[in-house]
Structure 1
């Protein structure tokens, strides 16, 4: 499973730059000392020495900051004694006061860093509940995942996914909660927990979607926030039956998944009952045959949850994603052309597809990803899928792209 949190790959020079920045207070002290020796006495460059411990407070410990202050104080006395500079007492008092203030500032900074570390630990625990590690393989179905939180400090956002192996097949959930950051975690947790429980018991995918709608509505009723009742989520539910090369989909107001036809393991495309599929070379957008309401919106806007079924050909892969992918912008404000990009990836193995997508998003946005992103690829593993099943009764096959 792939769940990166950094916005891009660290540069090779990043470590060297970090080390140079860490040593900058000592280098500043050395630079001021050298300038004090080389410049005329009228300039009194040694009075700039208090800047060194002030800078150290932003990155060093309290003891190291105090030690640098003592060393700069000693260097100042040595310079002033050697060159008979005036105002020695005033400069010494200023340096001592700045060193004391810098040591206190370092103490406050370290306390805040410890608090931030604890908050991140809590966020990691929350992420482990909402986004449990998904195995690479479930019942003959290969699964790859990608997650990037918009609030990198929080390390978790409103996008979610889950996959479980049930008596009805491998069931997959991917969705996006209204809002970002920790405020959306509770809703995402309610949905994923409801899915993990109901996916084993509810035989019909439409009824499963209805159960999740009920779960989020009940959760909203228990939250006292003023806008609790306005929370909703878009999601896609999938049920993969690898032995029959068949997958059922329920799209609850979410961006439609994309089918990559053929690829390294085969060349045939899929056929199915999705009515609005847009055809592209090597890929197809699986628009639902009828709209289904987002979770927690069924009672408000009405409508039923519609199940579409399609058959998978050899080498087919299903890409599920949240709107953070398609709404990624470049420096000119243009949106990321996901469909065009996917159409060029038909020969890419499923385990590498999301890695390439992550790199492309970072490159396209210049490293400025500002929305939660989740993506998931489902594919039948070689030798795990049987022969294609006959088309379901009443199905209207969509021509292969």
Structure 2
């Protein structure tokens, strides 16, 4: 075991940029010794150009220049032994090696400049992306929340998927959505919807009215595209809206073309499909008056798993879709952070790290103490759910009349 750990440490040091400097040094010494031992008619000095050339792959301009200078000195030493430095052949070899060394230094300098610029741009992009899609709070009222985002676009942290929460009057409203398209091109629409949700969530009494307000915001945003842009006419955003009261074991849900959530209860996984699904946001004018609210039980200890299309439509190298519901069953008793972590890692393993679309995951658990003292039989849940839906419709009619 001790020998194995020693070999691992040696291997790691060997792969560091400092240790890799040994390679061109060994190459210079080996070529010099081989040239000295070779017959007079054999000249191995031109092979020294390999030393500065390979140094550019792991070192900066200064170290590359140093290796080039050492190679040039070794070439001059070999030239002096084979007829003098001033011979036409030796001068040509020295000039060629010097030119290659200077070119290698320039390549390293340009590469390092590009790395610095890319690092600055990436830093700004990461800051902007984090400001747009802030991590959800771990605790919000009686809820324990965890989230994860996987962007399909390389070097990006977010794209067209989105999620947000808002606290209003002893209840939590949750939004998860998916902009048509992926990557950085969809960020504008995602930012618009997130801003609209944070404002509208505090202004509308029911999820139906909130969904209507978000639909109008998306429609106004999309109409800013030129009419000649045919692709803009096909833009839309699927969304799932939830309302979770602090002191009632229910969840109210409005679905706008989005995949249904999964309910994890006592180690079992159930897909909570709404009997009425409205079209995505931005297309409501095509099918008006379709916003409805569906209520279902959400007891202490239950967990809701929200996700976007990028999760269930992810494919492995054999083009097999990711079986989310089947995989989640293995982690149904985990806490939200652990559940999200396992699903994320399993999804990346399923796709070999190559996602075809952005993927967002949100887990929400009602803490066991959230409804202490309340019993499902005392609440007459069927009456409660029916009353919640009836109450929501009454509020909607009242607000529309106003």
In the alignment, which residue of structure 1 is the partner of 2:238? 234
**Alignment match of 1:363 (pick from 303, 324, 349):** 349
- In our comparison, the structure showing a higher alpha carbon Rg is 2
Q: Does 2:121 correspond to 1:119?
A: yes
Judge conservation of contact 2:166–2:201 (CA < 8 Å) in 1.
yes
Deviations along 1:311-358, one digit per CA (max 9) or x if unpaired, are 113321100011111122222221111111122322222221011112
Is 1:48 the equivalent of 2:41?
Answer: no
1:6 equivalent in structure 2: none
Kindly indicate whether residue 213 of structure 2 is the aligned counterpart of residue 211 of structure 1: yes
Alignment of 1:333 with 2:332, yes or no, is no
Counterparts in 2 of 1:64 and 1:341: CA distance versus 1, 3 Å: same
TM-score normalised to structure 1 length: 0.83
Would you say 1:31 and 2:27 are equivalent positions?
A: yes
Cα gap change, 1:237 to 1:44, in 2 (>3 Å): farther
What TM-score results when the alignment is normalised by the length of structure 2? 0.83
Highest RCO, 1 vs 2 (Cα 8 Å, sep ≥ 6): 1
The alpha-carbon deviation at position 57 of structure 1 amounts to 3.2
CA contact (8 A) 1:130 1:160 kept: no
Which stretch has the larger CA shift, 314-323 or 217-226?
217-226
Evaluate the alpha carbon distance shift between residue 110 and residue 353 of structure 1 in structure 2; reply closer, same or farther with a 3 A threshold. same
SS in 2 for 1:378: strand
- Write 1 or 2 for the structure with the bigger share of helix: 2
Residue 251 of structure 1: which of 234, 251, 255 is its match? 255
1:83, distance to aligned residue in structure 2 (A): 5.9
In structure 2, C-alpha distance between the alignment counterparts of 1:57 and 1:218, rounded to whole Å: 53
Which among 237, 260, 264 is matched to residue 260 of structure 1? 264
Distance in 1 (alpha carbons) for counterparts of 2:149 and 2:14: 27
- Matched position secondary structure for 2:247: helix
Contact 1:237 1:250 in 2 (8 A): yes
- Alignment-derived partner of residue 64 in structure 1: 63
Once the 2 structures are TM-superposed, how far is the Cα of residue 116 of structure 1 from its aligned partner?
Answer: 1.5
Of 136-145 and 338-347, deviating more is: 338-347
- Counterpart-to-counterpart distance in 1, 2:120 and 2:292: 44
In the alignment, the residues of structure 1 paired with residue 286 and residue 53 of structure 2 have an alpha-carbon distance, to the nearest angstrom, of: 58
Q: Which residue of the partner structure matches residue 397 of structure 2?
A: none
Map 1:319-330 → 2, pairs under 5 A: 319-330=305-316
* SS across alignment from 2:137: coil
Q: 1:292 offset after TM fit, Å?
A: 0.8
Q: How far did residue 51 of structure 1 move?
A: 3.0
In structure 2, C-alpha distance between the alignment counterparts of 1:103 and 1:51, rounded to whole Å: 14
Alignment-derived partner of residue 133 in structure 1: 135
Q: Say if 2:218 and 2:282, in contact at 8 Å, map to a contact too.
A: yes
CA contact (8 A) 1:242 1:380 kept: no
List gaps (5 residues or longer) in structure 2: 1-7, 390-402
Query: Is 1:283 aligned with 2:282?
Result: no
Equivalent residue number for residue 223 of structure 2: 221
1:44/1:165 CA distance change after superposition, 3 Å: farther
Runs of 4+ in 1 over 6 A off after TM superposition: none
Residue 384 in structure 1 maps to residue 370 in structure 2: yes
1:313 aligns with one of 281, 293, 299: 299
Residue 172 of structure 1 contacts residue 237 of structure 1 at CA under 8 Å; is this kept in 2? yes
Superposed CA offset, 1:241-277 (max 9, x none): 13111111111111111111124xxxxxxxxxxxxxx
Name 1:274's counterpart in structure 2. Answer: none
Between 373-382 and 341-350, the greater mean CA deviation after superposition: 341-350
Post-superposition offset of 1:23: 4.7
In structure 2, what is the Cα distance between the partners aligned to 1:60 and 1:262?
Answer: 56
The count of residues paired between Structure 1 and Structure 2 equals: 366
Q: Which residue of 2 aligns with 1:292?
A: 278
